[in-house]
Amino acid sequence: MALSGGKTDGASHARALPWPRLSVEAAAAPEAPLSGVRVAVLNFREPQQSVAGGAEEYAWQISRYLVGQGATVDFLTSREPGQAAAEHVDGIALRRMGNRYLVYLLVPLWLLFHRRSFDVVIDSMNGIPFFSPLVVRRRTAVVCLVHHVHDRQFHAFFPTWLARIGCFIEGPVARLLYRRRLTVTVSESSRDDLRTRLRWLAPIQVVPNGSPAARPLARHAADGDPALIYLGRLVGHKRVERVIGLAADLGETHPGLRVHVVGRGPESEALAAFAAERGVADRVRLHGFLAEPEKNALLGSALLNVTASEFEGWGLTVIEAAAFGVPTVAYDVAGLRDSVRDGVTGWLVKEGELLSDTVARAVEELSDPARRAEIHQACRTWAGEFTWGRTGATITGLITTELAEIGRRPVTAGPSPIPDLRLAVGETDPT
C-alpha cells in the first residue's frame, strides 16, 4: 500500500502525518542499509521491567528494527532486582547496570570505555539525559530521543529544590549539550514544547510511535454496561484514580458501568484502597499485568478507553486501543491532543471541563449504533497509519543521513555474537 495523500476518513478533521510519506518500495531499498553499523541505545528502563511504558516500547521496537537492517545493537539500561546483568533478547545485546539513579552514572562510564566500538548512539532523555556527547568520539553520531518535556512533571512530584535541578538539567544543560545533535520526538506537541519551553536549539524530527496490528478477538471479555478501560502503568502521574472515580461519578446514571484497569506499578495497592474508599470496589477490576491475548481481548471488547494523564509525549495506548476500534477520552494536553482526533477517534477534555462529563457525553454518543460504527472505523483507519515498521524505517533513514554527513564508516570490530535476525523492511510490523 502506497502512503499517498494526507487525509483519513472525515476530511474536516484530517491531519497530515508528521513524517515523510514513503512507498513500500522506497522503504525496502537498499537491503540491510545498516550492515556493519554498531548502535548503542541508552534508555532509563527496558520493556521487561515492572514499570516499563511507552518510552521503553519505542526504544525497543526501534532497536529490533535496526537489527533487521543489519545493525548490531547494544541496549544500555537500568537493572531491577533479580534481573541478569546481560543477556541477548530479540537479537539485541541487553546490558543492565545500576538502579534508577546509578544508571545515569554507570551507562556513560560504560560508554566511555567502549566509545571506539560505536558508530551511533540513541540517547533517550526521559527528563534527564545520559550526557553521551561528552563521552563518545567526536565523529560518533548521537541522536537525542525526547518523548515529552518533563518540567511540570518535576514540580508535580519532587520537592522544589530537586525539581529546579531537574529543570536546569533538562533545559539549559541539555539544550547546550545537544545543540548540534539531531533530536527525535514523537509528536508535534512535543516539538513545540521543546522549542517554546526549553528553547531547544538542535534540529528536531517528529517520528511517532507505531502500533501493533489488530488481531481477531474473542468478544465480550469486558463485563459492564458500559465497560470502560484504562491501559498503562500504575504510577502517580497517570492519575488512574480519576478513571476509577468514574465508577462513582457516573454510577447513578449508569449503574451497570464497570471500570477495568490493566497494568502494573507501585500504585496498585493504593488504587485498590481508593476504589474501596469510594465504595466502588465491586465495579472496578484491577487486572494487573495481562498476557497479550487476554489484554487484547479485554481492550477490544471495551466501549471506551480512558486516560487521565496530563503528561504525555504521544499516548501509545491511545493508538493501541484505536487499532481495535475503541475510542479514547483524554485531557486536551500536549501529546494526547495529537494521538486523539477530537470528535473523530475520541474526545478531549477541554480546560474547565470535568473528565466525568466528557466520558458521559462519549457514552451517550456511542449508544447510537450508527455513530459507534462510524467511530469504530475511524479509529481503525487512524491506527493503521502508524506501524513500528514505518517508525523504524524513518529512524533508519535518519541514521544513514547522519552517518553520511559526518563521513563515518561503519565499525568493523570482528564478528558479532548476536545472531543475524534480518527483518522485513517496509510496512510490516517487525513483531
Question: The cell 470535568 sits on which residue?
Answer: 354
Q: Which amino acid is at 411?
A: V
Phi and psi, residue 70, nearest 5°: 100, -5
Q: pLDDT category, 405, cuts 50, 70, 90?
A: confident
pTM beyond 0.85: the answer is: no
Q: pLDDT category, 31, cuts 50, 70, 90?
A: low
Average pLDDT over residues 52-62: 90
- Interatomic CA distance for residues 404 and 407, integer angstroms: 5
In this model, does residue 120 exceed pLDDT 50? yes
Taking a C-beta distance cutoff of 8 angstroms, is the pair 50, 265 a contact? yes
- Interatomic CA distance for residues 306 and 303, integer angstroms: 10
Rounded to the nearest integer, the mean pLDDT of the chain is 84
Confidence at residue 217, expressed as pLDDT on a 0 to 100 scale: 54
Confidence at residue 316, expressed as pLDDT on a 0 to 100 scale: 85
**Bigger pLDDT: 169 vs 275:** 275
Q: pLDDT category, 428, cuts 50, 70, 90?
A: very low
Confidence at residue 354, expressed as pLDDT on a 0 to 100 scale: 96
Closest to 411 in 3D by CA, of 181, 144, 87, 140: 140
SS3 174: helix
Number of alpha carbons in the 13 Å side-chain half-sphere of residue 228:
31
- Interatomic CA distance for residues 372 and 374, integer angstroms: 5
Average pLDDT over residues 386-406: 92
Is 227-383 a domain of CATH 3.40.50.2000? yes
Taking a C-beta distance cutoff of 8 angstroms, is the pair 175, 193 a contact? no
Q: Convert the pLDDT of each residue in 246-271 to its tens digit.
A: 999 999 999 999 999 999 888 999 99
In this model, does residue 20 exceed pLDDT 50? no
**Bigger pLDDT: 425 vs 100:** 100
Question: What fold is seen in the domain 20-210+387-406?
Answer: Rossmann fold (3.40.50)
Q: Do domains 20-210+387-406 and 227-383 have the same CATH topology?
A: yes
Average pLDDT over residues 364-389: 94
Taking a C-beta distance cutoff of 8 angstroms, is the pair 190, 337 a contact? no
Domain chopping of the chain, boundaries: 20-210+387-406, 227-383
In this model, does residue 66 exceed pLDDT 70? yes
Q: Which amino acid is at 287?
A: H
In this model, does residue 423 exceed pLDDT 60? no
Full DSSP string of 47-64? TTSTT--HHHHHHHHHHH
Spell out where 197-355 has E strands.
204-206, 227-231, 258-262, 284-288, 304-306, 328-331, 346-349
